[in-house]
Structure 1
Amino acid sequence: MYGPAPYEDHPAYGRANHQDHRTPATSPGVAAGRLWATGAATAVVAALAAVVATLLMRGVLDVPVFAPRRAGVWGDATTGYLAAWAAVAALVATGLLHLLLVTVARPRAFFSWIACLVTVAMVLLPFTADLHTATQLASAAVFLVIGATITGLLSATATSVAPNRSYDS
């Protein structure tokens, strides 16, 4: 900083006990326990979102997604694997958010961009496989639901777990 110091940095004339009530310029703290508890809750919600979206596609729309049609409305073990991977993805995203909160400027903006781009990649993935168009669309929709759930819940958390950060996006 160039030039004279601002007036706030000088004690007032005649005040011997001047105290500076400004926030120190140290790195902001992150409530890691709350962040990871929220990440665990997000993992549960993401797993349930995967199951519900799969149930919608298979049971309501009658599209054989993530398992052959003969596997029924709930599908096969693949539905469980999908739910487990959704939960793992939420925990990985929580780790990423934690890292960004303690290292970069505008962590919520970076987290949102990264999470959205990963979601888009997952949405596009079914279209690279030799599947029926309905199955491709249904798979993409399930991945979109999972990605939107994780991105939305965790990016909304950033403000409350690191309250001293600046979040202007």
Structure 2
Amino acid sequence: MTDYDAVERPGVNAGRLWASGLATAVVAALLAVVGILIARGVVDVAVLAPKGEGVWGNANTFTYAMLSGLAALLATGLMHLLILAVAAPRQFFTWIMVLATLIAVVLPLTLTVETGGKVATAVINLAIGLAITTILNSVAASAQTIRRPGARGDAPTRQWDQPPGTYYDS
């Protein structure tokens, strides 16, 4: 048995992780729509489109929701890669996602548009980023597996020294 064989190897229940990632994508897309509805309908702030587009907006609302879902799927891929490649994958995932969310929050604040629109977009981005980060970080714990040597077919083949039909006398 080599030293490598004695080391526990990380694994992932890919079906569970990606199903959770797909569910997270739906949550992120719906969160984008809810954020836009609140910003336009309740607070009366134009987000992503001129006010004349109405509460539901135009195709930009759909695009924003789909990009939010895509962000969740990309985050799922990142989590999958980190589980397989690094020590403490959830810690690295959290840091990467917090920094990516921070970029998504600060970016609209740098644009030369109405302050209300900037703040509303930043808040929606913050909510989406935090939702993706917390949901995927929590489901990763149940999708992460540890493959131990000798478990599920990993054990080396053992040879029996006795010829067939020979039994020990007890």
TM-score by length of structure 2 reads: 0.81
Q: How many residues align?
A: 142
| Aligned partners of 2:72 and 2:132 also within 8 Å | yes
Matched with 1:158 is 140
Matched with 1:43 is 25
Q: Distance in 1 between matches of 2:108 and 2:11?
A: 40
Matched with 2:62 is 80
1:116 equivalent to 2:98? Answer yes
Q: Secondary structure at the match of 2:129?
A: helix
Unaligned runs of 5+ in 2: 1-5, 148-170
Matched with 2:80 is 98
Query: Which has the larger strand fraction?
Result: 2
Matched with 2:163 is none
Larger radius of gyration between Structure 1 and Structure 2: 2
Q: For residue 163 of structure 1, report the CA deviation from its aligned partner.
A: 4.0
Counterparts of 1:22-37 in structure 2, within 5 Å, are 25-37=7-19
Matched with 1:10 is none
Q: Distance in 2 between matches of 1:129 and 1:90?
A: 24
Structure with bigger RCO (C-alpha 8 Å, 6+ apart): 2
Q: Distance in 2 between matches of 1:62 and 1:164?
A: 50
Q: For residue 145 of structure 1, report the CA deviation from its aligned partner.
A: 1.1
Q: What is the letter of the counterpart of residue 78 of structure 1?
A: N
Q: Distance in 2 between matches of 1:138 and 1:122?
A: 12
Q: Secondary structure at the match of 1:67?
A: coil
Distance 1:26 1:164, change over 3 A: closer
Q: Secondary structure at the match of 1:29?
A: strand
Unaligned runs of 5+ in 1: 1-23
Q: Secondary structure at the match of 1:164?
A: strand
Superposition RMSD on alpha carbons, in Å? 1.2
Matched with 2:50 is 68
Q: Secondary structure at the match of 1:105?
A: coil
